[in-house]
Structure 1
Amino acid sequence: MPPAMTDLLDIWAAHSPLAGHAPDQITVDFLLPTGIYIQLDVPREATIQHIKLLLWKQAQSFPLFPALGEMESHMFECVNQAAVHEELEDETRRLCDVRPFLPVLKLVTRNCGRAERLLDSKIGVLIGKGLHELDAINDQEVKDFRIKMFRLSEERMQRVQMMTCTEWLQACFSPQLEPPAATAVTDGVNDRAADLKVIIHFDQPYLFCANALNHFQICSVSHHNVLPFEKKSVFSHCQSMGLFFHIFTFNFFPLLNVFFKKTHADESHFSVQVRAGLFHGTELLCKPAVSSESSGQRASSEHTWRDNTLEFDISVCDLPRMTRLCFAIYAVMDKVKKQKSTKNSHINKYQTIPWVNTMVFDFKGQLKTGDITLHCWSSFPDELEEMLNPIGTIQTNPYTENATALHIHFPEYSSHPIIFPPFDKARGGKKFYIELKEIMERDPLSQLCENEKDLIWTLRHDCWENFPQSLPKLLLSVKWSKHEDMAQLQALLQIWPKLSPRDALELLDFNYPDQYVREYAVRCLRDMSDEELSQYLLQLVQVLRYEPYYDCALTHFLLERAQGNRKIGHFLFWHLRSEIHMPAVSVQFALILEAYCRGSIPHIEVLKKQVEALSKLKSVNELIKLGTIKNARSKTKEAMLTKEAMMTCLRQSGYTETLSDLHSPLNPNVQLSGINVERCRYMDSKMKPLWIVYNNKLLSGDTLGIIFKNGDDLRQDMLTLQILRLMDLLWKEANLDLRIVPYGCLATGDRAGLIEVVSSADTIANIQLTSSNVAAAAAFNKDALLNWLKERNSGDALDRAIEEFTLSCAGYCVATYVLGIGDRHSDNIMVRSTGQLFHIDFGHILGNFKSKFGIKRERVPFILTHDFIHVIQQGKTGYTEKFGSFRQYCEEAYLVLRKNGNLFITLFALMLTAGLPELTSVKDIQYLKDSLALGKTDEEALKQFRQKFDEALRESWTTKVNWMAHNVAKDNRS
């Protein structure tokens, strides 16, 4: 082995002694329960079971061996890479896969129930979060949810055992996702808790008593004039009972240091205020309560308020079931130091430090009581109006060490729990007004004025009879701060006709938090076929963030459908697991993953194989990054040595076995048989993605390629490709097949994931560069693309290829324009040898076009260059009939998307809290409304699109200039 190669392997061994190219034998320290310590060399590729056999044989020569008893009654423990204890119950795992933090294994005696412990161990490894972490959570909601899911999972597995072979195969390996005929639509009344009554006697008002910062105290409160409650539902006698609480002092907290460093504020003096608001979705139920300014200095550890009462102008009986109590703590500065940079020269007087949200009612519908500690999240918004964050999580910050602790006391008012009552059933009827039609046809982003809301609410029964799809607008017109309106809405909801599943998706948005509304939406979703559910699964996982309680209708629906169809279960698993590292959803997603695994035990080993394979690919990627750092001065030497190290690693038996014979995470219907090591490589970009090639026995010797990325967030690409897939479906429903290539893309972890390699395809840049000896001139060779297709197709095949190119070019022109996809250089557009054009790499969407020195680099609405037209017209000059057909395809495709504009807006709105860099607010989605010309007639919209089409043709020379610059830069890098 070359000396440089040895150095590279030494680096890897130092980086991770139990992975990659470590020695074949590892010295492990074994700690026995008898107090005996044994050091032993074991094969790094050995299974835990084999290592235990080796230890048992060695231990026979040590004292106290008979006291150990049976070998099967013991198992190993270690400290894993996350620095927590891990029980190695699953002894089929290899030591190199376990990767303990240090090569120390402790032998411990097993408790009873080995089968259950083994299953728990497998699930913990699979979901990426040990179940002991969930066991340690002292939260009754978590405990109740796990108990319920455990029972349901057992019932599910019992049903699986009773299935016939055919039924089991259909559930797990169905060749089609379409289920039997959908169930009939019913309008039955929801009988859940219909007869629930709360009978409590009160003689004092309902209130919150809270110190809003680090030290809460129970304090005396002023009583309003309130009639004593009779023995009826508490909410029917709360008309004048106001909501208020007190704030006192807080101790200095570390986040102020971050605040002053960030804002360069005057540290000599500042004051602190507390802002609190009650929200139903994004609707503020009443005016926020704001404290007076505290007095104090930075050096002081305590701040006090003169007026410590915060009061809300709302009656308790008018609080909706899903009311959120949102807090923000912010500093008020007297002076702000001037910034050297003009970019940050203006700092707002108000600077938020921590924020936190909580529900007023708990998961059982009971008014919260007692002391609650909320650890705050940090943010620094620029505007006072944004301080309260109702769309933010209701989970508290798990990183408690540096988080401000907000202690809230919910007082107890009675020896009986206060439970939110069921709505009364009341109806009224009004005359139909024609003005409703215009309002109901507006897109979801259109704001309703107060007069329009009043009109909709007045004519709610006409909406029910004539505009059932108007339910979202009716819900936005409800006065959620009036319990009478809520009661009438609930009664109306019981008889509301079912919406189509596509229309019902909107009701899962954050704007519709009401429990009964969301349950109604899920009932509508039950009419979805499995194929349609798969299409929208990405959004349905994201809107789980909007569910304040773990046990909800959406969670049950997703688990039920996932456990009934393995392909849905596969993608539900990966969508959840890829975000398990996010603190705001970590517990919620872990609970759902645990429930899925317990109800789909046969699927565990299949998924476990995929998780292990991805772990191996990550190790290879880390090896490559280390190698490129060491040899950064010599690119040629770097490429040679690093690729050799990569292949050496992939040839190791541990890697070969783990990476072979597994279901592709991108498509569980595809079996990846074995790696073609000679054709594997890594790509020359910052994160060094792996290009892995698989032999595939099922495809007559053809190979399959996947790209593994570690360090890039693929979720925005995944969303864009999902929307492209939906566009393709909508066009085909309209008898328009535009030959879209929505290749597979899947996020699998924290900034990690897989991308499908499209076979027999090359980039426009490579096609142009291979046709010219001069990189600068390559972009202007209009014959390059047509000649490339001619080389690969002849006769009728060439005609078919040009037709494929024409259709696909039309589809991507319209799609990239509607979605505002930017950064369209010649390496981000590819062509298959069969003629299909397609786009890749969607790092910029919704009109976020790249610029340099303040100048837009992309000046066209979509890419339509003259060399594309040259191919469409088969090399003929002037605009021919072929070009006319192409333009007609574009216009037809655009009109189809316009008809489904509300659906696209809904899907993007449901992704707002996913944390995508270019989809953070409703303002971002406004681009879709503008590009689809929603609110205009088809004629007006078509006129707008034709103007954009002409602009794309007229300004195509700017695209060629950008491509020339890209080709030159690429040529210089190589």
Structure 2
Amino acid sequence: MPPAKTDQLDLWAESGLDGDDQVMVDFLLPTGIYIQMEVPRESTIQHIKLLLWKEAQTYPLFSLLGEMEGHMFECVNQAAVHEELEDGTRRLCDVRPFLPVLKLITRNCGRAERILDSKIGVLIGKGLHELDALQDQEVKDFRSKMKQISEEKMQRMQLMSWGEWLRSCYSMPLEAGSLENLIDKHEASLKVSLHCTVTELMDQALKKWQTTHCPEEDIGFRSDYVLRVSGKLEFLFEDHPLNQCKVRYVVHSLFRINLVKGNKVNAEDAAKIQVRAGLFHGTELLCKTAVSSESSSRSEHVWNKTLEFDIAVCDLPRMARLCFAIYAVMDKVKKQRSTKNTHLNKYQTIPWVNTMVFDYRGQLKTGDIILHCWTSFPDELEEMLNPIGTIQTNPYTENATELHISFPEYSTQPVVFPAFDKGRGGKKFYIELKEIMERDPLSQLCENEKDLIWTLRYDCRENFPQSLPKLLLSVKWSKHEDMTQLQALLQIWPKLSPRDALELLDFNYPDQYVREFAVYCLRDMSDDELLQYLLQLVQVLRYEPYYDCALSRFLLERAQSSRKIGHFLFWHLRSEMFMPAVSVHFALILEAYCRGCIPHIEVLKKQVEALSKLKAVNELIKFGTIKTKTKQAHLKEAMMTYLCVCTYMNSKMKPLWIVYNNKLLEGDTVDIIFKNGDDLRQDMLTLQILRLMDLLWKEAKLDLRIVPYGCLATGDHSGLIEVVSSADTIANIQKTSSNMAAAAAFNKDALLNWLKDKNSGDALDKAIEEFTLSCAGYCVATYVLGIGDRHSDNIMVRSTGQLFHIDFGHILGNFKSKFGIKRERVPFILTHDFIHVIQQGKTSNTEKFGNFRQYCEEAYLILRKNGNLFITLFALMLTAGLPELTSVKDIQYLKDSLALGKTDEEALKQFRQKFDEALRESWTTKVNWMAHIVAHPS
């Protein structure tokens, strides 16, 4: 879509390309008076208000306006958000309203709060008035709780000294004397080490609480409580809202709903419409699906029928979700001839929608509800239902299919999901259990194996605690007794390592207590480790059916304790605000973060404004608004002056190359590429995994000199990429060494000679060693991840010798093809000119090549040991909407490349075969590179 006219005008005004310095603005006054007048583009908001006030004196009802200071401007900005404009030095061309319309509004007594709300709305890209307008009690309760927590945090921060504030924001260690005692509900003090962590503090306090006051009472997990700091640096325990005691009403009746009607069903006239409904716990279908009768009405389809499910209300799991699909039954003549989904041969699937059975308070839902359906429908879903889909209804209600249902009342009192009781189990051991527990997460369990795991659940706890996910898959979630037994186990289950606990946040494990246990384990993460997995932790918020959950609170707590974590949490959330399925959930967390970190708002606001300007510049260039060379020169000069942009690149999306001066780096510059039009989330995921591989290798004392440069998605198909300094592409290196483009790819001396030019003496030996190590790392990494589209323009080398790959548009074996023939026939890139560098230009130097091969094999075996972690991280991204990661079948590539399920000897044999294949077929890579260089000569 071309940029709006206002975008172009603003850019022209800033770059000096337009002579007209006036703009016509419509002003709306609180008295109902409308004034249209020209104002200078460069005027400040304060000056424009003075001009308006002078003009308004000539209009009726001016005396009703009162004092000028009692009013402020409001506009709709480029993000379609209402923004309040405070008087100040901000210019109209900086504000860039969506339309040249400014509304004058009256300030109220809550001016500071209005200003803060306005800032937050602009910052997160969703006006808080939109959240105010939602008639959703869960949203209201969550905002109220988070606002109270944030206000208390800000009050504590105001009492801090500068040193305390810095330690609070940047996670520095506490000084001696900053912790004195711990007080719980019963006012029992506890002496602790001044250097103990909050986690250790809570562990000790809970232990003393139980032994001192209530030794027989089940006090639950540490994650059931929060530590709140009072003004005197004392600590108070408060009940977690999800742990409140409620009366249990046992309902043995079968669960049922009333299917009322459907509106706006997009089907052919007189088509026979049916509704299918299923109860799921994760991806497990709890009982047989229920199907409605057929309706053949042309408009409104009315059923008014009860759908009954073969499961008692008392056996419903807490996280049960009710999934619907609406479809038209097709006659034999109109059946589709082929489709991926065999179910769709008989039925034409139309909309789907999901909802939880229990609300966020744990109460069984009752009464009428209207569900607005979604239409995008994944292939190969069981029973035509989409349990992994969002439980949010479609916010675009105007054209969405409406499904009216009603939940019955089983009691005069609310039916509340009960707290679990502790249970007891037997203890045996079977050798077969070990084999089952060592399988990868993608391995399926048969019913006999599930029964064995469940029977030996206490052996699992004692001998295979990291196998908790497999135990959870063995629970019969439709039996309340099994759920009670599981809760008893969770109370005494050993804490998992954070890496093992990540799997428990997958969609397959929706139980509230399981997810709280997972978060309890994650609290041991350092800030650096949390940043390593933050991308997945944000994505699995999609799996949380309720806004107030342990994971949301954990992320907010850690983000508000560390400015760096807060920065990345903000951008991971804001970059997906355009997605309707998560916009409310992510907006609520962003609002809570901003309220608790008000000093960070101004920094983030500058970043948002800078990105907005970069996007406008990019669109101006991309859509060819400026054509003459003179105006192009003026534009580049303006870009240099105002935006620190050196140039824009000639690829399709015209990315901007930006250069910043960094005072912290003593005058060094930071180069960044801004992309608008490309989805960077897959690159971001791939680089995160490369960073993890680098960490795992270093933990094993193997440094393969990986270059996982920075990459951050900041919005819908936009983001930033770090430019690695002192580096060039293989293509450029080859082209500069040859007079003929076609011959450049076959010059095996080009790369070695380039390194010789950049390094002399001992530095050359060091550079070749750097090249050898990094080449080994990327050979293994690109093979394991199935990274495709590897040509000489997306493999680079630094002057120091480090080789690295860029641009990860194809992963998990999705290799490009032309005319039905795969363009890449090698498992990874290992050309003879690479070997030429590794062997220092000497064909007889087989020892160097032997070392290189040993590095590759060692690196591969290290990754194999962590194969379950890689599978988990990709599985947690399944609903992110990445084009090449949409189902478990995509992750199967990792299982195959890592040879999971095989012995190390078998896996090493497989890798050696791939290594030899890469060497043997490297000539095909050179041919592809030649074709690429000829097709892209500059």
Q: Tell me, yes or no, if structure 1 residue 909 matches structure 2 residue 909.
A: no
Give the one of 380, 384, 389 matched to 1:392. 389
Which structure 2 residues correspond to residues 63-212 of structure 1 after superposition, within 5 A?
65=62, 67-81=64-78, 85-89=82-86, 91=88, 93-173=90-170, 182=197, 183-184=199-200, 190-191=219-220, 198-199=246-247
Any conservation in 2 of the 1:624–1:646 contact (CA below 8 Å)?
no
Per the alignment, in what secondary structure is the counterpart of residue 328 of structure 1? strand
Paired residue for 1:583? 580
Q: Structure 1 residue 271: deviation in Å?
A: 2.0
1:585 alignment partner AA = V
* 1:102/1:384 CA distance change after superposition, 3 Å: closer
1:647 alignment partner AA = K
Paired residue for 1:817? 783
Paired residue for 1:504? 501
Q: Distance in 2 between matches of 1:392 and 1:819?
A: 26
Paired residue for 2:290? 289
Q: Structure 1 residue 181: deviation in Å?
A: 5.8
Any conservation in 2 of the 1:19–1:99 contact (CA below 8 Å)?
no
Q: Distance in 2 between matches of 1:719 and 1:283?
A: 28
2:287 alignment partner AA = C
Q: Distance in 2 between matches of 1:497 and 1:689?
A: 50
Which structure 2 residues correspond to residues 728-747 of structure 1 after superposition, within 5 A?
728-747=694-713
Paired residue for 1:669? none
* 1:384/1:615 CA distance change after superposition, 3 Å: closer
Q: Distance in 1 between matches of 2:285 and 2:407?
A: 21
Q: Tell me, yes or no, if structure 1 residue 794 matches structure 2 residue 809.
A: no
Paired residue for 1:528? 525
* 1:572/1:383 CA distance change after superposition, 3 Å: closer
Any conservation in 1 of the 2:171–2:561 contact (CA below 8 Å)?
no
Paired residue for 1:275? 276
Give the one of 723, 746, 757 matched to 2:689. 723
Please say which of residues 330-339 and 550-559 is displaced more in the overlay: 330-339
Paired residue for 1:898? 864
Per the alignment, in what secondary structure is the counterpart of residue 377 of structure 1? coil
Any conservation in 1 of the 2:280–2:320 contact (CA below 8 Å)?
yes
Q: Distance in 2 between matches of 1:965 and 1:571?
A: 40
Paired residue for 2:846? 880
* 1:822/1:181 CA distance change after superposition, 3 Å: farther
Paired residue for 1:609? 606
Q: Structure 1 residue 51: deviation in Å?
A: 2.3
Any conservation in 2 of the 1:786–1:870 contact (CA below 8 Å)?
yes
1:610 alignment partner AA = Q
The TM-score with structure 2 as length reference comes to 0.89
Q: Structure 1 residue 316: deviation in Å?
A: 1.2
1:906 alignment partner AA = T
Give the one of 907, 922, 927 matched to 1:941. 907
Per the alignment, in what secondary structure is the counterpart of residue 345 of structure 2? coil
* 1:643/1:495 CA distance change after superposition, 3 Å: farther
* 1:140/1:599 CA distance change after superposition, 3 Å: same
Give the one of 663, 667, 673 matched to 1:701. 667
Any conservation in 1 of the 2:767–2:802 contact (CA below 8 Å)?
yes
Paired residue for 1:644? 633
Which structure 2 residues correspond to residues 537-686 of structure 1 after superposition, within 5 A?
537-627=534-624, 640=629, 643-650=632-639, 656=642, 659=643, 675=644, 677=645, 680-686=646-652
Paired residue for 1:435? 432
Any conservation in 2 of the 1:11–1:626 contact (CA below 8 Å)?
no
Q: Structure 1 residue 68: deviation in Å?
A: 3.1
Paired residue for 1:244? 256
Any conservation in 1 of the 2:259–2:404 contact (CA below 8 Å)?
no
Q: Distance in 2 between matches of 1:506 and 1:84?
A: 37
Per the alignment, in what secondary structure is the counterpart of residue 27 of structure 1? strand
1:553-581 CA deviation, whole Å, 9 max, x = no partner?
Answer: 00000000000000000000000000011
Q: Distance in 2 between matches of 1:112 and 1:135?
A: 19
Q: Structure 1 residue 642: deviation in Å?
A: 6.9
The TM-score with structure 1 as length reference comes to 0.86
Q: Which runs of 5+ in 2 are unaligned?
A: 175-193, 208-217, 225-238
Q: Tell me, yes or no, if structure 1 residue 301 matches structure 2 residue 267.
A: no
Give the one of 217, 221, 234 matched to 2:249. 234
Q: Structure 1 residue 49: deviation in Å?
A: 2.6
Q: Structure 1 residue 330: deviation in Å?
A: 1.0
1:139 alignment partner AA = D
Q: Tell me, yes or no, if structure 1 residue 477 matches structure 2 residue 471.
A: no
2:500 alignment partner AA = D
2:633 alignment partner AA = E
Q: Distance in 2 between matches of 1:446 and 1:591?
A: 37
* 1:14/1:626 CA distance change after superposition, 3 Å: farther
Q: Distance in 1 between matches of 2:631 and 2:861?
A: 51
1:290 alignment partner AA = V
Any conservation in 1 of the 2:256–2:407 contact (CA below 8 Å)?
no
Any conservation in 1 of the 2:11–2:617 contact (CA below 8 Å)?
no
Give the one of 699, 705, 718 matched to 1:752. 718
* 1:791/1:82 CA distance change after superposition, 3 Å: closer
Q: Distance in 2 between matches of 1:281 and 1:600?
A: 35
Per the alignment, in what secondary structure is the counterpart of residue 714 of structure 2? strand
Q: Structure 1 residue 390: deviation in Å?
A: 0.5
Paired residue for 1:313? 310
Any conservation in 2 of the 1:350–1:383 contact (CA below 8 Å)?
no
Q: Structure 1 residue 831: deviation in Å?
A: 0.5
Any conservation in 2 of the 1:30–1:39 contact (CA below 8 Å)?
yes
* 1:345/1:324 CA distance change after superposition, 3 Å: closer
Any conservation in 1 of the 2:44–2:89 contact (CA below 8 Å)?
yes
Any conservation in 2 of the 1:339–1:345 contact (CA below 8 Å)?
no
Paired residue for 2:178? none
Q: Tell me, yes or no, if structure 1 residue 421 matches structure 2 residue 418.
A: yes
* 1:857/1:386 CA distance change after superposition, 3 Å: farther
Any conservation in 2 of the 1:198–1:418 contact (CA below 8 Å)?
no
Per the alignment, in what secondary structure is the counterpart of residue 617 of structure 2? helix
1:959 alignment partner AA = T
Q: Structure 1 residue 643: deviation in Å?
A: 4.4
2:932 alignment partner AA = H
Q: Structure 1 residue 472: deviation in Å?
A: 0.8
Any conservation in 2 of the 1:336–1:347 contact (CA below 8 Å)?
no
Please say which of residues 943-952 and 381-390 is displaced more in the overlay: 381-390
Q: Distance in 1 between matches of 2:305 and 2:423?
A: 41
Per the alignment, in what secondary structure is the counterpart of residue 936 of structure 2? helix
1:465 alignment partner AA = E
Please say which of residues 891-900 and 13-22 is displaced more in the overlay: 13-22
2:154 alignment partner AA = M
Paired residue for 2:925? 959
Q: Distance in 2 between matches of 1:540 and 1:345?
A: 34
1:599 alignment partner AA = G
1:426 alignment partner AA = G
Please say which of residues 439-448 and 375-384 is displaced more in the overlay: 375-384
Which structure 2 residues correspond to residues 1-12 of structure 1 after superposition, within 5 A?
none
Q: Distance in 1 between matches of 2:467 and 2:517?
A: 14
1:73 alignment partner AA = G
1:301 alignment partner AA = S
Paired residue for 1:833? 799
Per the alignment, in what secondary structure is the counterpart of residue 801 of structure 2? coil
Q: Structure 1 residue 821: deviation in Å?
A: 0.3
Q: Which runs of 5+ in 1 are unaligned?
A: 1-7, 200-232, 257-266, 632-636, 660-674
Q: Structure 1 residue 197: deviation in Å?
A: 5.8
Paired residue for 1:515? 512
Per the alignment, in what secondary structure is the counterpart of residue 371 of structure 2? strand
2:299 alignment partner AA = S
Q: Distance in 2 between matches of 1:196 and 1:572?
A: 30
Q: Structure 1 residue 870: deviation in Å?
A: 0.4
Q: Distance in 2 between matches of 1:509 and 1:382?
A: 20
Per the alignment, in what secondary structure is the counterpart of residue 154 of structure 1? helix
Q: Distance in 2 between matches of 1:61 and 1:196?
A: 63
Q: Structure 1 residue 11: deviation in Å?
A: 11
Q: Structure 1 residue 385: deviation in Å?
A: 2.9
Q: Structure 1 residue 269: deviation in Å?
A: 5.9
Q: Distance in 2 between matches of 1:694 and 1:15?
A: 23
